Amino acid sequence: MTKIIPTSKLDPSKIIIATQCSPVEPFKSEVIRLFKSQDLLGGQLADAQKIVCLTEPADLDFKNELEELGVAIQSIEPIDVSYPYSNKIQMLQIEEDYDVLIALDTDIIITGDFSDYIDKNKISAKGVDTDCLGLENWEKLFKFFKLQMPSKRFQTSITNVETVPWFNSGVLFIPKKFSSILYELWIQYTQKLLQNYNYLTFLSGDSFDDNSNFTFIEQYALTLAIHDLKLPYNQLSLKFNFPTHYLVHENFNPNEINPLIIHYHHLVSKKGNILHSKYLPTTKRIDLYNKSITTVSSDDNEIIIDDLYLSVLGRHADQEGLDYFMSLLSEQKISIDLITKSLMNSDEFKNK
């Protein structure tokens, strides 16, 4: 991994922190959560410009919340109605004066000031968590588009599998000088992949609907665009895009990472708390945010139960188990100790 060292600090007002969504739940709450975290925990980045790109008009309450946070709204046109993931590419069309665009998914919180690590001369992004394509199929994909297969290799952060340099597009640092050329080619490759998806059977397999490769098309397209244009890039570490939905591979020493950007993958309790991570430093950062939002209840049985699942089974609670134990807790028919014993008596635990 390329070691990212602090750069000369940019003027925060020349940095844009942006996200994109349709103005419906859960995305509206996630957008508010993101920009609140920027203000509360982002340090000097609290002074960065805030923009949300919306594919439909926002309701009045959402507009008012955004206005209170100083978030500007930009309307965008969907790139392809059959593939909403591609709409994030429209963030590269933001015309405000800036040096670097920080393009984020909505289900992210900022938990520290990373302004020292923003490079205005290179695109920066973290490598992917998993690679469902594999090196053999990557070679087929590059060959299909008559591109040279990159020789450099990354390790995926959850499965620890060797792959080509391709990136999770949930956190992107994009210098203004690259935004236009990247925009054009990112869209082109996305559209070509969508048009050829069924033809490229190593992508589509036997199913068009239930296939994770379909979800990742815009990330495949981003990879092809970056390598086609030969754009300079930094590989960000997990510190700048820490996932909480699955366990990080032990080779990445996740218990030693104090993340500045947390990707919580929509894992939020019904009371509005972000669910914890398996890893204490990340959980402390999440709690720092949760406790800073006074409207969120600290008495959250959903987090308590989910923490037990993380501790005992090493995963987040499934909905069936969560509903079952939540019901018993609310009726005072079970204790935390008994929930722990129940999980430890499960076949899943015994077969670990």
pLDDT tier, 352 (very low <50, low <70, confident <90, very high otherwise): confident
Confidence band for 4, pLDDT divided at 50, 70 and 90: low
| pLDDT at residue 204, rounded to an integer | 75
Token reading at 169: 């597009």
Band of the pLDDT at 213, cuts 50, 70, 90? confident
Its pTM stands at 0.95
pLDDT value of residue 299: 84
pLDDT tens profile 138-176: 999 999 999 999 999 999 999 999 999 999 999 999 999
Show the domains of the chain with their CATH numbers. 12-240 (3.90.550.10), 245-350 (no CATH)
Interval 73-82: pLDDT, tens: 999 999 998 9
CA neighbor of 165 nearest in space, from 181, 153, 174, 156: 153
CA separation for the pair 265, 271 (Å, rounded): 17
Neighbouring CB atoms inside 10 A of 321's CB total 19
| Alpha-carbon span 337 to 328, nearest angstrom | 13
DSSP secondary structure letters along 142-168: HHHTT-PPP---EE-TTT--EE-S-EE
Backbone angles phi, psi at 12, to 5 degrees: -55, -30
On the question of pLDDT at 136 being above 60, the answer is yes
Q: What is the pLDDT of residues 252-294, one digit of tens each?
A: 999 999 999 999 999 999 999 999 999 999 999 999 999 998 6
